[in-house]
Chain A
Amino acid sequence: MSSLRPDLARIASLVPQGARVLDVGCGSGDLMQVLETERGCDARGIEIDAEEVARAVSRGLSVVQGDANRDLADYPDGAFDVAVLSQTLQTAQRPDWLLDQLLRVGREAFVSFPNFAYWRMRLSLLKDGRMPISRHLPARWYDTANIHHLTIADFREFLAERGVQVKGSWFFAAGREIGGGNANWRAEHAVFRLSR
């Protein structure tokens, strides 16, 4: 699992052995491949980019090209043990709808996202007065796919309002996992494990 991004490696380690997994926004299938080969999972993916899908299919993975903002509705209730949404929530047209769908098709969900309240972001905004550009969020305000930036505090409040249960949370900065203290300041990324 060492080749995976730290948030994906953490998710891979938490997904139950042999689970049926849907990876929403799976890219070329890095996480799916690890889940299949190392965790004995039956992994399926959705990805919007045709080239990424072609790469995933050519690795022998089952990936459907589609737009999660629309196509997730096509999956039956409880079709998967686990639904994964990594680094995609902030790009969704309707993050609230997407989260509902994740918890409908999956019995539990892993959601990872970049934390806009990371201290470097705050400092950059305070110092320069411009939308921060970082290693993990390299796009400018007008060409970014991230149309719904959020913070860890925002996400916790959002979950509480919707009655979603947090079964665990993990935090990352500078490419490695950190403890949960003051995460909204210190974490560049967060992973949440959720269920209804």
Chain B
Amino acid sequence: MATTTAIDFRTLVLDQPLPLDSGRELAGVEVAYETFGELAADKSNAVLVFHALTGDQFVAGTNPVTGKPGWWERMVGPGKPIDTNRFHVICANVIGSCLGSTGPASMGPGGKPYAMDFPVITIRDMVRAQMAMLDALGIERLHAVVGGSMGGMQALSCAANFPERTDRVLAIATTARHSAQNIAFHEMGRQAIMADPNWQGGDYYDGEAPTKGLAVARMAAHITYLSEEGLTAKFGRRLQDREAKSFGFDADFQVESYLRYQGISFTDRFDANSYLYITRAMDYFDLAEEHGGLLADAFRGAKDTRFCLVSFDTDWLYTTADMREVVHALNAVAAPVSFVELSAPYGHDSFLLDVPALDRVVEGFLG
């Protein structure tokens, strides 16, 4: 977390307390956001991009925290499928996160970080905060909302709960409901964090952070983002900088070394408590349950919204079958929906990687 504190995030403070699904409310909510491209005089060209679990508002350009390109640099920018020469792209850090928006690491009313006193939030709460941000920015209606993975959940939640705010919804590699398997993987990650002695019931902000637990959580989650085919192609059983197995528990295999690196480097940029809160929000996500048990009812208000849904054939985290349930529900309310399962070797992460067919679909759908 040391690197993030030095960054001066662009934020706005919501002037009203944010009501939450838990029944609690959160006062003085800060939302960190970035914009790319000019807003048209009639404000008709705004596109809101929702980020995924560990994402941030730096969708394009250079991320000042990591010094690396934005997480969707290949999709968002001048002349890119989400063309910032045409669209005013807005991306906000979700509440509960740790990149400038209010989360468990933020100062609570007692003058110390919320930690586990932070209220449990939901995907709908994240969307609510961003709708309040749009109010503050004076943007009533969006040209489109776009998101992959947890970003796609927010896009679907936005369509269900705030259909008057957007003309188009583009949801990629996502689901309308977290499955038992999805919850199971998240719970494993949370338990890894909580089992780290440094976690201290969440009150670690003036001491050592539970980086080992967070790294293990990230390693496990990272496996779910890749396909077996992708892992095999990238690593196979190749050994890491050695000729033979060590007959020990060093990272003999390249795949082990890769995962350890993914785990450790993640702890530099992410707060363990944020990871707990955001994975919880995803586990609680069930759009049908929110709307009386029938997914079609979630979309009754969105029958004039144009939808485009994309899944990937190697994504076993949020599958084509999950997406077809959403298609079915949208057909039931006669909403104009497009759906395509694209072929890509990278598993769930395909939405972030080089899949030219996705570029064409995104560009075409945004019109």
Q: What residues of chain A have their CB less than 8 Å away from a CB belonging to chain B? A: 20, 42, 44, 50-51, 53-66, 74-76, 79
Contact = CB atoms under 8 A, between A and B. Distances in A.
Given A50-B357, A51-B357, A57 B331 contact: no
A59 B308 CA distance: 13
Given A54-B340, A63-B338, A66-B339, A75 B360 contact: no
B319 to A, nearest CB: 14
Contacts of A63: 338-340
A74 B338 contact: no
Contacts of B365: 57-58, 60
A50 B343 contact: yes
A24 to B, nearest CB: 13
Q: Which of A53, A58, A75, A76 has the most CB of B within 10 A?
A: A58
A65 B341 contact: yes
B363 A58 contact: yes
B332 interface: yes
A42 B338 CA distance: 13
Nearest to B307: A62
B367 A60 contact: yes
Q: Which of A20, A57, A75 has the most CB of B within 10 A?
A: A57
B291 interface: no
B127 interface: no
A133 B199 CA distance: 72
Nearest to A58: B364
Contacts of A54: 340, 342, 357, 360-361, 364
Interface string B281-320: 0000000000000000000000000101000000000000
B327 interface: yes
A37 B363 CA distance: 20
A44 B336 CA distance: 7
B331 A75 contact: yes
Interface of B: 306, 308, 324, 327-328, 331-332, 334, 336-343, 357, 360-361, 363-365, 367
Given A62-B337, A76-B331, A57 B361 contact: yes
Contacts of A79: 331, 334
Contact of B339 (A51, A65, A76): A65
B357 A64 contact: no
Contact of A62 (B336, B361, B367): B336
A58 B361 contact: yes
Contacts of A53: 338-340
Contacts of B327: 64, 66, 74
Contact of B364 (A20, A44, A60, A66): A60
B169 to A, nearest CB: 12
Contact of A64 (B339, B342, B363, B364): B339
Nearest to A22: B331
Given A57-B364, A58-B361, A58-B363, A64 B334 contact: no
A59 B332 CA distance: 24
A50 B327 CA distance: 15
Given A58-B365, A74-B328, A74-B331, A65 B360 contact: no
Given A50-B357, A54-B360, A74-B331, A62 B338 contact: yes
29 contacts: A20-B334, A44-B336, A44-B337, A50-B340, A50-B342, A51-B357, A54-B342, A54-B360, A54-B361, A55-B360, A57-B361, A58-B360, A58-B361, A60-B364, A60-B365, A60-B367, A63-B339, A63-B340, A64-B327, A64-B331, A64-B337, A64-B338, A64-B339, A66-B324, A66-B327, A74-B327, A74-B328, A75-B331, A76-B331
Nearest to B342: A50
Contacts of B337: 44, 62, 64
A106 to B, nearest CB: 13
A132 to B, nearest CB: 34
Nearest to A76: B332
A74 B325 CA distance: 10
Nearest to B311: A65
A72 B244 CA distance: 56
A58 B342 CA distance: 14
A50 B341 contact: yes
B332 A57 contact: no
A42 to B, nearest CB: 8
Contacts of B339: 53, 63-66
A62 B339 CA distance: 8
